[in-house]
Structure 1
Amino acid sequence: MNAVILCAGFATRMYPLTRDFPKPLLPVAGRPVLDYLLDQLIECAGISAVHLVSNGRFYDHICRWRDDHLAQETYGALSIEIYDDGAKDNDHRLGASADLALALKIIGVPDKILVSGGDNIYRFALAPLWRRFLQGNEHRIVALVEEQKDILRRTGVLEFGADERVIRLYEKPEKPPSHWVCPPLYFFQPSVWGELEQFLNSSANHDAPGHFIEYLCRESTVMGFKLRERRLDIGSIETYHQADRELGGNGGDTLAIGSP
């Protein structure tokens, strides 16, 4: 089985730090953000390949990161594939849903799949969630508690029905319907191949992945993993420094990021 990591954003809110360097490779406590996710994926039974989608500007950076790990055999037999979506700047980005479709087209054979953004560090174990997902026939997404109203208005907020079923995702709602937010972490059944294609043909909102999740909640059964744990979202320079301090770094203030 496969995992897909979406790494093709340009992180313009973090300029100048990410103008010439990909956000998923920013060091947090001395390690690239992506390393924390790969550490978790190797613990997910049955995942034998990880597919990363990069933009054209940072494709070489991501490939060098992959090659360094292959040389050191960090992740054993885990296959790491990198795809270039061709975008050279933010104005011509494909969007997360289109990037996911690119990866699924290359993978080809529909199967259960884990999908994540490349700029989050999850402070909870993925392997137990993956095992539970494999036992069912529904799509699963993660729901985390967020109490701050200003943050709720800037992200995807979930509305739940009975039995952990997600009724709807509201993207950046003015009046949040709950305190449950949806990070970019999804567990999809094989039917997602066709459902994503239908979404892309019917919607122009290909950028934020929440738009596809909102569509999926209407067209299919989506269940939630309600968790009280946290994630570190590298969404701004401020949250990047906070994540670095929390994991034992120096807050990012003296980190020198360059273009190799």
Structure 2
Amino acid sequence: MQHSTTCAIVLAGGYATRLYPLTLNKPKPLLPVAGKPIIDYVIDLIRQVNPDTTVISTNKRFKPEFDTWATTTPIKVKVVAEETLREEEKPGAVKALHQLLQQYTGYDTYIVIGGDNLMTLNLKEMLELHKRTGSPVIAAYTLKDTREASRYGVIESTINGTITTLVEKPKLPKSNLIATCCYILPAHTPKLLQEYLEKGGKPDAPGYFIEWLVKKTRTLAYKFKGTWFDIGTPEAYLKANLTLITHSISPKAEVSSSEAVESIVEEKAKLNKSLIVSSYIGHSTAVENSTVKRSVILPKAKVEDSTVSNSIIGENSVIKAHRLKKAYLPDHTKIGT
């Protein structure tokens, strides 16, 4: 029996302007959530199916960061960059995908996943559904609040999962079932993308291509339960961290006269006379004589004589004698110094 070939594409070419200031100097997929980069969760999904090729599609500005990250991955990945350095130069995610796939034709199956997807999903089962039916398959998630669905592609489907309608960002959603950026697509996807663009399809959000695809060919919704986060804002990023944090203190952390409750404290972090509750403390971060609650402090930061709650503090920041609440600070912020 001939081997069926699979190419996994991770979309990581955006500039995540809605997450500013956290992503001014770092791509969103490399932001840590509960101790590991968002894209590592995507790689965990991809490893379920062991594709022949895995490609990270990014931009010229952030390619060096992804190249460095790629040296740490458990599977071999290829980092490919579009020639852009800022948001205004982007060709759009769909057009960038089309251009990329011109280099990766000839595969039987394409798996396309957003590099900021954080979800619990049985990708192997989803792939088997595609192979069994030959149809494109979209990972679909049920939101608790239908009103939130207007920000996404809203799905209506039959009892057997066939998508009857998919409307991208409707003003009045008819369903709380949405399409996430996780697709399994057939061998002729490069030609489909070309046809879509030639007919005037929007080149930016991939959801518009999927909306067009649903009208053209039978497409299935793979409904999954569990965790899914749309990390589009600092508030959502903080929420994802707080949801996934499990208590873990590295044996290489230094904890003196301090207490850490339901928190992650990474290696080489130093806690002195401090209380840490439901928070993430990055590696080589120092917290002294401070209280930190429901917050994320990224690596190599320093917090002294301060109270921090519901906040994010960027790498290499220094906070002294200050009270922070619902603050989202970029890397290298200095307060009270």
Q: TM-score of the superposition, structure 1-length normalised?
A: 0.91
Which of 58, 61, 64 does residue 57 from structure 1 map onto? Answer: 61
Q: Name which structure has the greater RCO, CA cutoff 8 Å, separation 6+.
A: 1
CA offsets 1:136-182 (integer angstroms, 9 cap, x no match) = 21111011101323321111111224531112221111111211101
Matched, 1:136 2:143: no
Gaps of 5+ in 1: none
| Counterparts of 2:228 and 2:194, CA distance in 1 | 29
Equivalent position SS for 1:242:
helix
Alignment partner, residue 28 of structure 2: 23
Alignment partner, residue 16 of structure 2: 11
Alignment partner, residue 152 of structure 1: 149
Aligned residues: 251
Matched, 1:235 2:240: no
Paired residues of 1:28 and 1:252 also in contact (CA < 8 A):
no
CA offsets 1:105-139 (integer angstroms, 9 cap, x no match) = 11121421111000011122222222222222111
Alignment partner, residue 72 of structure 2: 68
Alignment partner, residue 90 of structure 1: 87
| Counterparts of 1:65 and 1:26, CA distance in 2 | 11
| Counterparts of 2:109 and 2:82, CA distance in 1 | 23
Equivalent position SS for 1:107:
coil
Which of 254, 257, 260 does residue 297 from structure 2 map onto? Answer: 254
Shift of residue 243 of structure 1? 1.0
Matched, 1:104 2:101: yes
Paired residues of 2:32 and 2:38 also in contact (CA < 8 A):
yes
| Counterparts of 2:96 and 2:57, CA distance in 1 | 6
Equivalent position SS for 2:56:
strand
- Looking at secondary structure, tell me which structure has more strand per residue: 2
Q: TM-score of the superposition, structure 2-length normalised?
A: 0.71
Shift of residue 60 of structure 1? 1.0
| Counterparts of 1:127 and 1:222, CA distance in 2 | 18
Matched, 1:126 2:169: no
Percent identity for Structure 1 against Structure 2 = 28
Matches within 5 A, 1:204-223: 204-223=201-220
| Counterparts of 2:223 and 2:41, CA distance in 1 | 22
Q: Which has the larger radius of gyration?
A: 2
Q: CA RMSD in A?
A: 1.7
Gaps of 5+ in 2: 1-5, 246-263, 265-278, 280-293, 299-313, 317-330, 332-337
Q: CA separation of 1:257/1:53 partners in 2, compared to 1, >3 Å: closer, same or farther?
A: farther
